[in-house]
Each structure stands twice: as structure tokens, then as C-alpha cells.
Amino acid sequence: MNKAGILNNSTIDPNKILPMRYPWAREYYKTGVNNNWVPEEVPMMDDIELWKKSPERGGLTPEERRMILWNLGFFSTAESLTANNIVLAVYRHVTNPECRQYLLRQAFEEAIHTDMFIYCSDSLGLDPDEIYSMYESVPSIKAKDDFVIGMTSSIMDPNFKTDTTENIQKFIHDLFGYYVIMEGVFFYAGFAMMLQLLRQQKMVGIGEQFQYTLRDESVHLAFGSDLINTIVQENSEVWTDSFKQDLADKMKVAVDLEDAYAQDCLPRGIMGMNAEIIRQYLEHIADRRLERIGLEKIYGATNPFPWMSEIMDLKKEKNFFETRVTEYQTAGNLDW
Ligand code: FE
Ligand code: MN
């Protein structure tokens, strides 16, 4: 075990941030600050009007409403699950000060995202009891949440320490569960559906809120991946074939769960999206997530939504505000 690295480092004083050892953590912090936003900046008047309209008078179809409700139901509680894991588990074990600075920033962003779902529910006049219990009452949502919560059962023990090879693997397993699977896979079918709706100029307020959230999440995912990579580099004994296989197997289950969720959101396929194309997209992003942490890709699927990869590409994310949201709306008539 490496006692001079990012974990188990007895020489680290968590209060001394300078000099820094992990400049990538600092960069993500600054990127997060540059991306600052709050939900109230996004006007919701058009959404409220469209939400109230009947289908006969140009309102949303029942299928579109279901898709929106399912995504609000999933995300409204998923953001809190993620925040709790950062604060209660990850923060305790990552004592490096610049990483902790980013974790605090991420926790704040999760609070913004939680706020975004409060704001959307309020704006549309949704029943909070219904939305906030969907993670228990809708089986396809519950299955996703149960899966990630199950991936952290051992490290949520207050006596857990990253003091053995096996425990470092458990910790990486937790990071993989929340950063790679929750934020990297379980958020993305929802992002694709909501942004596709935005490209058709429907529910543009919620769509824009999802865009800002996606931009934040792409940074969370990048930080989590670099954190995993650093722990693995510094503790190479943990990176056994059987552990890598375990992570790859978890990814396969995650893709199937997200696929089932997407089919439940869009039972009949709408907006040019159907079960096959969403499955292909999930396989594509799963491969990208695996490769990002040095694992072999599983599926080899091409990206059916190139417009999504443009939005989420981290290199572009700093320019995101300059390319106004309307740019994506004009691309709504792409034929696919
Ligand atoms: Fe979030
Ligand atoms: Mn996040």
C-alpha cells in the first residue's frame, strides 16, 4: 500500500492546501466555479404554459409528459443520493486538500441540482409526494437506486478504513458506483431524452436546466475518473484481473438497468428515440466510461447521438456559455 499518495497518507495535513500535489483537482474546482449557475436564472413561463395545454391545443402528448415525469422522479432523489455519498463516504477517506476543495464544490453543485428539481416541481405545480416517492414506487427507478446504494454498503460503515488492498478495492468500487455508474450512465438516458425534447423546442426551461446540470455532471464524472486513476496508479496491487472483471460486470448490469429505465420512460418510443437507439447510446457511453479508467470497452457501439457528445465534451465545456443554448435548438430538425 502506498502511504505517500492520495489515500492513507499520514503526512498530509488536510488544512494545508499549498503546495498542491494534484493539479487536476484544482483545475476541476476552477472549472466548476466558471460554470456557476442557479435554477432561478432560467425562465419557466413557456414551460408552465405548455405544461397546462391540452394535447388537442398543441400541448404535450401523454408520452412526452410521462417521459418528463419519470426523469424528474429519478433525478429529484438521485442528486441527494450522490451528495450524501460524497459528504458521508468519499470526503472522509480522501484527505488531500485540493481534492477536498473540489468535493466541497461538487457537494454545492449537487445542492444546486436538488434545488433545480424543487424549482421545476414548483413551477409546474407537480405533487411533491408523487415526484419524491417515485424512487420507491416506480420499479425501473428503484432498481437503479438500489443498485448504486448496494455498491456502497461496506464503505458506509463508520468504521470502514482504506487500510488494506481489499478495502481500497471497496473504496474504488464505491467511486465507480457513484461517479461512473450513477453520474456517468444512470443520468445519461435521461439527459438524452430531455435534451432531445429541448431540441424540438419543447419545455425549453427544463431543457436548459438539464443542460447546465449535464455540464456539471460531466465535470463530476471527469473528477471521479481521475480520482480512481490516481488511486490505482498509486496502489497498483488493487488492479487485479478479477477486480477489473467485477467492475466490468457491474457496468453490464448498469447498462441493462438504464436500458430498462429508458424503455419505461418511453414505452412506445417518441421524438425519434426508440429502445434500440437508446440502447446503442448507452453502450457507447459505457465503453467511453470504461476506457477513461483504463478498462477495456465491452460493446463497440458507435454514437447515435453525436449532438450529445458535443454538449458533454469536457474540452468544450468552458466555452459552453458562449455558445448559447439557442444553438442547440436550431439543430432540432436534424433528420435521424
Ligand atoms: Fe448532480
Ligand atoms: Mn453530480
Catalytic residue status for 119 = yes
pLDDT value at position 144? 95
Which pLDDT belongs to residue 318?
Answer: 39
User: How is the chain split into domains, by residue range?
Assistant: 23-305
Q: Which residue in the list 29, 119, 179, 328 is annotated as catalytic?
A: 119
- Residue pair 147/176 in contact (Cβ under 8 Å)? The answer is no
- Ligand at minimal distance from the CA of 113 is 1
Q: What pLDDT sits at residue 269?
A: 85
Ligand nearest to the CA of 116: 1
Segment 251-295, tens digit of pLDDT: 999 999 999 999 999 998 888 898 899 999 999 999 999 999 999
> Which tens digit of pLDDT belongs to each residue from 117-145?
999 999 999 999 999 899 999 999 999 99
| d(CA 253, ligand 2 centre) in Å | 21
3-state helix, strand, coil in the chain (%, to 5): 70, 0, 30
pLDDT of the residue at 15: 85
Helix, strand or coil, per DSSP, at residue 202: coil
What's the average pLDDT block by block, 10 residues per block, for the chain (336 residues)? 84 85 96 93 95 94 95 92 93 95 97 95 93 93 94 87 95 96 95 92 94 93 97 97 98 98 91 90 97 98 88 44 40 37
pLDDT, position 12? 79
Q: Tell me the CA–centroid distance for residue 33 and ligand 1, in Å.
A: 15
Residue with cell 493539479: 23
Task: Give the pLDDT of residue 1.
Answer: 75
Residue 155: predicted pLDDT: 86
Model's pTM, two decimal places?
Answer: 0.90
CA distance readout (Å), 218 to 75, 117, 243, 278, 293: 15, 18, 25, 19, 15
| Distance of CA 216 from the midpoint of ligand 1 (Å) | 7
Q: 313: CA distance to ligand 1 center in Å?
A: 17
DSSP one-letter code for 332: G
Domain at 23-305: CATH code:
1.10.620.20
Distance between CA atoms of 120 and 208, rounded to whole angstroms? 11
